Copies of this chain bind each other. A is one copy, B any other.
């Protein structure tokens, strides 16, 4: 299968050729095989005229919990502890495979329509999530979140570790690496009863060359409690147990210390910034400019739709760039270019992906944004418009690994009506009695 994009205006995230104008981009199979100012010779299966559109690398959502989309807007107007204890945990206790499948497909539809081509997920019922991702055409790093509220004798026998192992055996590397399996420690505060798990999981990731996903210092109390318990920050404590030997995705990092930042830069640990969720839950505002200045790789995520309450990476880009301008009274604190990098190449690199840039040889994860809409007119600067003026709803094409999976409002891999019917007919009645 070949697709030739003509009249391409693009932001590439390639430092050598950062923008394209009147260009041609040729995709063959799953790869970008040509980027040029001359029309490639030959016949092509599909020609897409990009006049009026702007191409950019597909967005990378580096932290979410896909099935929690079923709990979008559920229990709002409560403080965190009441929200979790009275609403979210009881709802999660009623989940089953079928609910998880439906909720994941719903989330994937939202992601695809909003221009995401790659997502990092941390949850349970992972085989159901993996099947939904496989069907959708998206790329994903999936992880089975491990918690332990009691000591664990033998980590290898621990249920969630066994589930993780099975997930690796079944799904890691699926479809030429479209699905990768990461290891996940949910957080220090949900597993400090069993530090031997940390050691086991860190070694497992290193031995199997897998990524690592952990919630790090999301709330102040989590950060301070860990310091009180262990005399170390969550990030440094887990480092002591060998958790970061293969790098990893540290989600949130709202309260990380300067020393944590230095360690992250040194160990290639990526901070996944989730500005909307961090505001919504009252967790605080991560020190993004300091993270960037410290040389930490920073990616962007939405977190689950229960605490966002959407999966719109354009919104995250805009807020990531704006928030720190306002907090530091510096209109140059985080630039549009930095926000774009966080939402694309920085996330892709962190997830071991060959995507996030429009460059020959990379995976063809590409989106088109309709720049003829009133909110994107005029266009003085493509990057400014993408970050500050575009919304997920302005995406008119999503190509994931060379395959167009969404075009002009139509889902080409998912049946949205069927997903909605399954959510409303099965999942919601089961979970919420609605």
Chain A residues proximal to chain B, CB less than 8 Å: 70-80, 83, 106, 109-110, 113-114, 220, 276, 278-285, 305, 308-312, 315, 318-319, 322-323, 325-333, 335-336, 372, 374-375, 377-381, 383-385, 388-389, 391-394, 416, 419-420, 423-424, 428, 432, 434
State the Cβ distance, A51 to closest chain B Cβ, in Å: 13
A420 partner residues in chain B, CB cutoff 8 A:
372, 377
**Minimum C-beta distance from A225 to chain B (A):** 15
Contact partners of A285 in chain B: CB under 8 A: 326-327
CB distance from A105 to the nearest CB of B (A): 9
Quote the shortest CB–CB distance from A94 to chain B (angstroms).
14
Knowing A79-B331, A388-B309, A394-B393 touch, does A381 contact B282 (C-beta < 8 A)? no
What residues of B have a CB within 8 angstroms of the CB of A327 in the complex?
285
A293 to B110, CA, bound (A): 37
Bound CA–CA A432/B276 (angstroms): 35
Q: Which of B388, B428, B432 contacts A73 (CB 8 A)?
A: B388
CB of A276 within 8 A of CB of B73, answer no
Between A83, A106, A310, A423, the greatest number of chain B beta carbons within 10 A of the residue's beta carbon is seen for A310
- Tell which of B280, B332, B372 touches A77, judged by Cβ atoms closer than 8 Å: B332
Q: How far is the CA of A338 from the CA of B352 in the complex (A)?
A: 43
Report the bound CA distance from A388 to B377 in whole Å.
25
Q: How many copies of this chain are found per oligomer?
A: 2
Do A310 and B381 have beta carbons less than 8 Å apart? Answer: no
Find chain B residues with CB under 8 A from A276 CB: 322
Of B106, B325, B385, the residue contacting A280 (CB under 8 A) is B325
Q: Which residues of B contact A389 (CB under 8 A)?
A: 72-73, 305, 309-310
Partner of A220, one of B83, B328, B329, B384: B329
**Chain B min CB distance to A412 (Å):** 15
Given contacts A73-B378, A76-B384, 5 further A-B contacts (CB under 8 A): A74-B380, A75-B380, A77-B336, A282-B331, A310-B391
> Chain B contacts of A380 at CB under 8 A?
71-76, 432, 434
Knowing A385-B309, A388-B73, A391-B393, the reply to whether A282 touches B328 (Cβ < 8 A) is yes
A71: B residues at CB distance < 8 A: 380
Inter-chain CA distance A378–B421, complex, in Å, is 11
**Which B residues touch A113, using CB under 8 A?**
374-375
Whether B309 contacts A80 by the Cβ 8 Å rule is: no
Check B326 against A282 for contact (C-beta < 8 Å).
yes
**A284 with B329: CB separation less than 8 A:** yes
What is the CA–CA distance of A109 and B285 in the complex, to the nearest angstrom?
34
Which chain B residue shows the least CB distance to A111?
B374
One of B281, B331, B379, B428 near A331 (C-beta < 8 A):
B281
Question: Can you sample 21 A-B contacts with CB below 8 Å?
Answer: A73-B379, A75-B380, A76-B336, A76-B381, A79-B332, A110-B374, A220-B329, A279-B322, A279-B323, A280-B331, A280-B388, A305-B389, A309-B384, A315-B315, A315-B391, A372-B420, A377-B423, A377-B424, A378-B423, A378-B424, A380-B432
Known contacts A73-B380, A76-B381; is-contact A322 B423 (Cβ 8 Å): no
Partner of A308 from B77, B279, B388, B428 at Cβ < 8 Å:
B388
Question: Which residues of chain B are within 8 angstroms of A385 by Cβ–Cβ distance?
Answer: 72-73, 309
A381 to B77, CA, bound (A): 10
Contact between chains at B283 and A428 (CB < 8 Å): no
Name the 6 nearest CB pairs between A and B, nearest first: A393-B393, A279-B326, A73-B384, A282-B331, A279-B322, A309-B388
Q: Which residues of B contact A372 (CB under 8 A)?
A: 420
Q: When the two chains form the complex, which single residue of B78, B110, B318 contacts A375, counting CB atoms closer than 8 Å?
A: B110
Give the chain B neighbours of A333 by CB distance below 8 A.
Answer: 282
Once the chains bind, are B74 and A381 in contact (CB under 8 Å)? yes
Q: Are B335 and A378 in contact (CB under 8 A)?
A: no
